[in-house]
């Protein structure tokens, strides 16, 4: 579990592969570290993705563990590259890094519209309501979110999104009635995308499992890469990849899903809301 300084997805993936390589060789951290001229703690940080192993260290590891995996060198080079969001002056985007590599997102959103489905007017209002930020930082944050949204219509690297949105999120006026009308209409339109499943959790559901907050789960194309649970909070975010924790969240998501309106009924409710707000 990590906080707002979470290791990037690529470092986590590289570290996990290196840990597997060591364990397959039957060596402990205490045994391997001195043979690699590392302390136990520094080798552990590499395996947890906090720091990156360069190609020279990885070659030494493959020699020590007597196992060759050539793609580990490519993975190390990839982990050394700056993420695309760095061009927008954003240093720590552990979640965005993971989402960029993911193929699927399952998200429950309680009081906000999911970032991947927000209109620009909505997101500008929401981002402006947070901690004070300069005009440049606001613009950069907006652009990063808009770039993330392109995955929903990308033909070559599409993102599969399954979103459950509490109806409460649509009745909190973010930016005023016209902004919310536009947002509701946009949500209705996104239900037409083949890779997006959007369903509303209606008010008459009453109490439910996720009233304490929103959460997101990511899955990845590599079969050995575990799903990731992300929970945002006021001071940053928490990343969890322990299977039992992710499974608990998945069970909650499935229970919520059983209480939602169908995609078709959700689209109808959204269109009606947009019309009511516009009128």
Among residues 222, 261, 213, 234, the alpha carbon closest in space to that of 107 is found at 213
For domain 9-80, which CATH number applies: 1.10.10.10, 3.40.50.300, 3.30.300.170, 1.10.260.40? 1.10.260.40
Question: Tell me, what's the pLDDT at 92?
Answer: 58
Question: Tell me, what's the pLDDT at 93?
Answer: 58
Which tokens hold the place of 187?
């949500």
172 contact partners, CB below 8 Å, separation of at least 6:
111
Question: Tell me, what's the pLDDT at 114?
Answer: 97
Domain ranges of the chain: 9-80, 86-278
The C-alpha atoms of residue 214 and residue 233 are separated, in whole angstroms, by 9
Question: Tell me, what's the pLDDT at 5?
Answer: 35
Q: What is the CATH architecture of 86-278?
A: 2-Layer Sandwich (3.30)
25 contact partners, CB below 8 Å, separation of at least 6:
64, 65, 66, 67
Q: How far is CA 194 from CA 154, 157, 160, 191, 263, in A?
A: 12, 14, 9, 8, 12
186 contact partners, CB below 8 Å, separation of at least 6:
117, 119
Residues of the chain with pLDDT under 50: 1-6
Q: Provide the CA 151 distance to its chain's centre, in angstroms.
A: 13
Residue located via tokens 């700056």: 82
| 234: DSSP letter | T
pTM of the model: 0.86
Beta strands in 34-148 (DSSP E): 104-109
Query: Above pLDDT 90, what percent of the chain?
Result: 70
Question: Tell me, what's the pLDDT at 141?
Answer: 92
């Amino acid at each position: 579990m990590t906080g707002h300084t979470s290791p990037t997805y690529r470092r986590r993936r590289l570290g996990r592969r290196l840990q597997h390589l060591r364990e397959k060789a039957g060596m402990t951290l205490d045994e391997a570290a001195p043979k690699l001229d590392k302390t136990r703690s520094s080798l552990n940080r590499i395996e947890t993705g906090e720091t990156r192993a360069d190609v020279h260290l990885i070659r030494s590891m493959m020699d020590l563990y007597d196992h060759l995996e050539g793609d580990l060198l490519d993975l190390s080079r990839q982990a050394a590259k700056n993420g695309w969001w760095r061009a927008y002056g954003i240093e720590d985007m552990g979640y965005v890094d993971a989402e960029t590599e993911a193929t699927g997102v399952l998200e429950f959103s309680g009081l906000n519209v999911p970032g991947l489905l927000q209109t620009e007017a909505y997101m500008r209002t929401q981002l402006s309501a947070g901690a004070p930020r300069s005009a440049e930082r606001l613009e950069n944050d907006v652009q990063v979110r808009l770039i993330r949204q392109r995955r929903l219509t990308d033909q070559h690297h599409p993102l599969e999104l399954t979103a459950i949105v509490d109806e409460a999120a649509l009745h909190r006026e973010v930016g005023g009635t016209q902004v919310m009308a536009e947002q509701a209409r946009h949500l209705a339109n996104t239900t037409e995308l083949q890779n997006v499943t959007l369903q509303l959790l209606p008010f008459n559901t009453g109490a439910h499992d996720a009233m304490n907050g929103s959460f997101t789960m990511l899955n990845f194309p590599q079969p050995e890469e575990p799903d990731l649970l992300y929970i945002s909070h006021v001071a940053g975010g928490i990343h969890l990849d322990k299977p039992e924790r992710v499974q608990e969240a998945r069970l909650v998501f499935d229970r919520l899903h059983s209480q939602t309106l169908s995609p078709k009924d959700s689209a109808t409710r959204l269109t009606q809301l947009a019309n009511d707000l516009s009128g």
